[in-house]
Structure 1
């Protein structure tokens, strides 16, 4: 591991996600190969100048994506399947074409998720959706926590499908998109955007709660169309 030379990470970025990306780059560039053991949490924390809890969260992200496997008491290893996995780097979406393509992919996934959530959600699922909505509409709606709550809302809808793959893919795409949107939001007329966004989420929540899949799909489509318009995206929708 002598050539494992990641520098210290800038504090302004979301550390676990940034470190997960750095480790994924080591894997994709074959400096870490399938079956290789990752350095220990202690070594990684020291090398990167962060706490072990940050390293643990980064490794958990990579495990969720299937890039690494952890073995109790032994450590983390590069997954044998890692070569086949999809990974999108955060900075890729700073390219307008890539961002638009990613947003386009999000639309059919999330519309379908909304319909399935209306049919299959449990009481606990609805509580999770409502908790995210409460965060979005509370005192912190003007802050970055409002964006986090928005992301939680979409993840909660995806989980309500009872299909774990929706939760994985929608969560992955929504997170990448929200990082890019955070920058756009800073430039926009915040008050107008926040109130409109909240109204769209409330309509979606109510359609899901009423177990009406067609209304839920329509509400999600309206929300995503509005979201695209607000950041100046023109998308093909049918």
Structure 2
């Protein structure tokens, strides 16, 4: 069964929509660099959602480099726009070709990240990978929380490179890939696709743990090609 990309807008989750709205406000200059965003409580009331949804939206904006959070103070717009920011609106990702392009970009970024993580990770990084895998394989793996744990795994892997730019770019892409994960789940037998996806992540984790960059790169390549295949996307590989 082939993924129906026409359903992407319908399954886009609330945090992504809220992050997109705030990101547009920042991009168009209605919220300036250095300015503090309204509190979680105010944003929750404004958008009519829970504070946990707002926190997830702020996390997405942080991954995109648009805001920085200061503990006990709040979220502030960064100077990213002055340096020239990169932004792909969720509304632009609604057909097969746009997702194919995003997966093609994902290939060099995440394969290289896996190799670097194998070389540079520390015990704390490995624990974060294990924690996200525990969530992926637990009782919540059939729910949206399984998708959240999947994205957390990729962010943790990016952080394990100990290169500050990988979390920025991979975190940004991961939020958009979440829509594709939903589409793939909707198009296949859920039990099969979840178990295959988990096995691919376990292989990546184990390769990183052995500190073998070549094996880690191979495992990530296998995962991305598999994920693309589950969406009936063909990637150019040389």
Return the TM-score normalized by structure 1. 0.80
Contact 1:118–1:212 under 8 Å retained in 2: yes
The whole-number CA distance in structure 1 between the counterparts of 2:68 and 2:117 is 30
User: Does the 8 Å contact 2:63/2:167 carry over to 1?
Assistant: no
Q: For the Cα contact (< 8 Å) 1:66–1:82, is it kept in 2? A: no
Q: Which has the higher contact order (CA 8 A, sep 6+)?
A: 2
- Unaligned stretches of 5+ residues in structure 1: 1-11
1:4 alignment partner in structure 2: none
Equivalent residue for 1:174?
Answer: 174
Corresponding position of 1:65:
64
What's the C-alpha RMSD, in Å, of the aligned pairs? Answer: 2.9
Residue of structure 2 equivalent to 1:115 = 115
1:16-95 equivalence runs, <5 A: 16-34=15-33, 44-50=43-49, 55=54, 58-59=57-58, 61-68=60-67, 78-82=77-81, 84-95=84-95
Secondary structure (helix, strand or coil) at the match of 1:236 reads coil
Shift of 1:28: 2.6
* CA positional deviation for 1:22: 0.9
If you compute each CA radius of gyration, which structure gives the higher value, 1 or 2? 1
* Residue equivalent to 2:218: 218
Deviations 1:1-42 (CA, angstroms, capped at 9, x unpaired): xxxxxxxxxxx9644432221122123334445566756666
1:163 partnered with 2:166: no
Task: State the Cα distance separating 1:116 from its structure 2 match.
Answer: 0.7
Contact 1:137 1:198 in 2 (8 A): yes
Counterpart-to-counterpart distance in 2, 1:196 and 1:229: 12
The number of residues matched between the two structures is: 227
Q: Gapped runs of 5+ residues in structure 2? A: 1-10
Contact 2:34 2:77 in 1 (8 A): yes
